[in-house]
């Protein structure tokens, strides 16, 4: 696809919340344009009645009618952005139903967002970038095999990872906590290259992802700089060998969480949340610190404990830590506290995010937190399914980047 | 005998009509009775605990207020289970009500989305309308019996 990606906006309230410009700026920064599907008054009444959700707000009626026009092909778009006010119950119902309706009746990538007057274009950027990538780079995302000698770098908020791949095999990895963005990237690159036994000059293509993707991408002259929603989906289905058919990818990160519903390796609907650190890997890091164990020991410890023995609700990291301290002071065992912390994080992700994507098996857990056995176990119990943790799951973004960057293969 | 979801769910008249014509009404009374009679709960008056809004997540996302999700925990499984539904629009408060306009919107939508036979009626305001109202319900329920 050349030219701008056209994103249809279905919304209620952004103009009056003062955030319409932020939405347009976010789209503009990834070379996309927002447009409002034009439909007649007659169509609005008809489509709204046919859809059957009898809402009172006329702007929501208009959003429903616009969604129908998109699904029925009367109006063309490359992607859909649904946005309504945070805390509006009626809008929350509509947002949810429209997302399901569009995802199950069309191939349009769709993302929804509930905004406040504080929403900025920066908050929306990763979502917009993922939407446009799915629309613009379907051919690239369809890549199933890594070719040549490529490297992927994932500059995350908590850790930086690098992977070197040759002809569909991982031959070198590097992993370090993120301190300085470029410094950490340089160090993990050296680790991965050393393990792979190759020189930097031999690498034929490089891809970067994660929060520091632009900075690191510029620094190393990356061929592909890509947000983590599409890259992680691709890495997950590649490593789990589930490139065809449906899958659900869950990534509980250091700063935010992603839940992605994938079909044939391409994301359909996704959510990205984690305003509160209580539902993130950060809380588990704090728990292990308080228990005096290394984060790698937290998972096995949690497997020995009973989550229900300790009341813990980490909706907020401060309150979560308070429960943790109280439980230890009351004599709870470190095993039970570790299990409760894992359960609490899993429960929040389940309640806050997984309801917004259609969970289809296999469910893949990826990212560093997928190595915490107790967390995977808790999530499996909540979803009543066996969770798949693919090999190299902590390197998922780097693997996805190395795989996709081989689409830009060149002899250096 | 079919399972008929009634809307408004608390309508005893509607529930009685469905039962009189030989079908099983699915309404609030059953779900509430189940909770009120379940031993071990300490959450008066309806014995609904914070678990109910969590169960309601199957029907409404987390941003939807807990009261809507709590109601959906009661009514959602009934909609899943129903063979047909009777919807009475703009009913008088005394006829029965769900107490929440947002829940009303979602319930009616989910009933229609299921694609089961639905009889949609306006609440009768005169005697003549009342007679026609009962007749239409009777015909609908008898037809369901015939189809079976």
Query: Where do runs of H (alpha helix) occur along A18-80?
Result: 20-29, 41-51, 58-71
Task: Tell me which chain B residues have a C-beta less than 8 angstroms from the C-beta of A352.
Answer: 62
Q: Which of A246, A286, A282, A291 is nearest to A264 (CA)?
A: A246
Query: Is the Cβ–Cβ distance between A239 and A399 less than 8 Å?
Result: yes
Q: What is the mean pLDDT of residues B36-45?
A: 70
What does the longest C-alpha to C-alpha distance in chain B come to?
48
Among partner residues A54, A86, A92, which is closest to B64 by beta-carbon distance?
A92
A180 contacts: CB under 8 Å, gap ≥ 6: none
Helix, strand, coil content of chain B in percent (nearest 5) = 55, 15, 30
Any bridge partners for residue B29, and if so which? Answer: none
Q: Does A384 touch chain B (CB under 8 A)?
A: no
Any bridge partners for residue A173, and if so which? Answer: A163
A85: closest chain B residue by CA: B63
Rounded to an integer, what distance in angstroms lies between the CA atom of residue A41 and that of residue A137?
35
A147 contacts: CB under 8 Å, gap ≥ 6: A167, A168, A406, A409
Query: Is the Cβ–Cβ distance between A280 and A345 less than 8 Å?
Result: yes
B64: closest chain A residue by CA: A89
Q: What is the mean pLDDT of residues B54-61?
A: 86
Q: Does B65 touch chain A (CB under 8 A)?
A: yes
- Which residues of A, range 111-170, sit inside 8 Å of B by Cβ? 114
**Phi–psi pair at A211, nearest 5 degrees:** -60, -35
* B98: its two tokens: 């769900």
How many domains in chain B?
1
Q: What is the pLDDT of residue A66?
A: 96
A34 contacts: CB under 8 Å, gap ≥ 6: A7, A9, A23, A24, A27, A81
Q: What is the ipTM of this complex?
A: 0.71
pLDDT in tens, chain A (412 residues): 568 999 999 999 898 888 899 999 999 999 999 999 999 988 888 998 899 998 988 889 999 999 999 999 999 999 999 999 888 889 999 998 999 899 889 989 888 888 888 888 888 888 898 889 888 888 888 889 999 999 999 998 888 999 999 999 999 999 998 999 999 999 999 999 999 999 999 999 999 999 899 999 999 999 999 998 899 999 999 999 999 988 999 998 877 788 888 888 888 888 877 556 666 788 888 888 888 888 888 888 888 888 888 877 766 777 778 888 888 888 888 888 888 888 888 888 888 777 777 788 899 999 888 988 888 998 998 888 899 999 999 999 999 999 999 988 854 4
Q: Do A355 and B62 touch (CB under 8 A)?
A: yes
For the four alpha carbons of A156, A162, A167 and A171, in that order, the dihedral sign comes to negative
pLDDT for B37 beyond 50: yes
Query: Is the Cβ–Cβ distance between A264 and A242 less than 8 Å?
Result: no
B104: closest chain A residue by CA: A54
Rounded to an integer, what distance in angstroms lies between the CA atom of residue A279 and that of residue A344?
8
B30: domain CATH number is: 3.40.50
- Structural domains in chain A, CATH included, are 5-136 (3.40.50.11900), 149-229+396-408 (3.30.420.40)
* A147: its two tokens: 């070719």
Among partner residues A56, A93, A356, which is closest to B106 by beta-carbon distance?
A93
Tell me the HSE value of A26 on the side-chain side, using a 13 A CA sphere: 21
Radius of gyration of chain B (CA): 16
Helix (H) or strand (E) holding A169: strand A169-177
Rounded to an integer, what distance in angstroms lies between the CA atom of residue A147 and that of residue A127?
28
Q: What is the pLDDT of residue A412?
A: 47
B60: closest chain A residue by CA: A93
Rounded to an integer, what distance in angstroms lies between the CA atom of residue A134 and that of residue A7?
12
DSSP A37: P
Question: Three-class SS of residue A10?
Answer: strand
Interior/surface letters A85-117, b for 16+ CB within 10 angstroms, e for the rest? bbebbbbbbbbbbbbbbbbeebebbbbbbbbee
Query: Is the Cβ–Cβ distance between A290 and A327 less than 8 Å?
Result: no
Q: Does B122 touch chain A (CB under 8 A)?
A: no
Q: Does B105 touch chain A (CB under 8 A)?
A: yes
Rounded to an integer, what distance in angstroms lies between the CA atom of residue B129 and that of residue A166?
78
What domain range is B27 assigned to? 3-147
* Residue recorded with tokens 């809380």: A283
């Amino acid at each position: 696809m050349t030219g701008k990606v056209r994103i249809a906006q279905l919304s209620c309230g952004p103009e009056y919340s003062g955030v319409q410009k932020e939405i347009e700026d976010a789209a503009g920064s990834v070379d996309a344009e927002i447009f409002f599907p034009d439909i007649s008054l007659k169509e609005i009444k008809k489509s709204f009645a046919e859809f059957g959700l009898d809402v009172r707000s006329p702007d929501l009626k208009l959003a429903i009618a616009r969604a129908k026009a998109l699904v029925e092909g009367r109006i063309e778009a490359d992607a859909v952005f649904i946005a309504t006010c945070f805390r509006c119950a009626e809008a929350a119902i509509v947002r949810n139903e429209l997302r399901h309706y569009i995802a199950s009746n069309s191939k349009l990538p769709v993302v929804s967002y509930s905004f406040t007057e504080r929403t900025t274009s920066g908050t929306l950027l990763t979502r917009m970038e993922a939407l446009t990538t799915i629309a613009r780079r379907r051919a690239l995302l369809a890549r199933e095999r890594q070719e040549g000698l490529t490297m992927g770098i994932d500059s995350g908020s908590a850790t930086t990872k690098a992977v070197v791949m040759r002809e569909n095999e991982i031959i070198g990895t590097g992993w370090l906590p993120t301190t300085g963005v470029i410094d950490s990237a340089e160090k993990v690159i050296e680790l991965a290259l050393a393990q792979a036994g190759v020189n930097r000059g031999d690498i034929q293509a490089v891809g970067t992802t994660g929060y520091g993707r632009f900075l690191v991408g510029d620094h190393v002259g990356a061929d592909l700089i890509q947000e983590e929603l599409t890259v992680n989906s691709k890495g997950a289905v590649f490593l789990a060998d589930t490139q065809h058919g449906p899958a659900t990818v869950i990534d509980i990160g250091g700063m935010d969480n992603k839940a992605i519903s994938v079909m044939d390796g391409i994301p359909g609907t996704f959510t990205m949340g984690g305003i509160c650190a209580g539902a993130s890997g950060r809380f588990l890091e704090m728990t292990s610190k308080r228990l005096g164990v290394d984060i790698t020991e937290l998972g096995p410890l949690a497997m020995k404990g009973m989550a229900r023995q300790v009341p813990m609700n980490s909706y907020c990291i401060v309150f979560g830590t308070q429960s943790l301290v109280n439980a230890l002071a009351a004599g709870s065992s470190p095993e039970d506290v570790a299990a409760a912390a894992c359960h609490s994080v899993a429960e929040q992700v389940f309640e806050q995010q997984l309801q917004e994507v259609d969970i289809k098996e296999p469910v893949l857990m990826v990212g560093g937190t997928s190595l915490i056995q107790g967390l995977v176990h808790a999530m499996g119990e909540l979803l009543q399914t066996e969770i798949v943790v693919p090999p190299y799951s902590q390197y998922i973004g780097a693997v996805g980047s190395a795989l996709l960057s081989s689409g830009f293969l060149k002899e250096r | 005998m079919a399972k008929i979801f009634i809307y408004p769910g608390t309508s005893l008249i509607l529930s009685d009509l469905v039962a009189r014509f030989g079908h099983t009404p699915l309404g609030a009374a059953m779900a509430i009775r189940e909770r009120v009679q379940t031993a071990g709960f300490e959450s008066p008056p309806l014995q609904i605990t914070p678990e109910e809004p969590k169960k309601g997540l199957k029907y409404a996302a987390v941003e939807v207020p807990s009261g809507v999700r709590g109601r959906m925990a009661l009514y959602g499984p009934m909609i899943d289970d129903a063979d047909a539904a009777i919807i009475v629009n703009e009913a008088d408060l005394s006829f029965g009500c769900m107490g929440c306009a947002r829940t009303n919107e979602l319930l009616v939508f989910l009933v229609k989305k299921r694609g089961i036979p639905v009889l949609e009626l306006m609440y009768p305001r005169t005697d003549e309308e009342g007679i026609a109202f009962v007749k239409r319900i009777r015909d609908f329920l008898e037809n369901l019996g015939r189809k079976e």
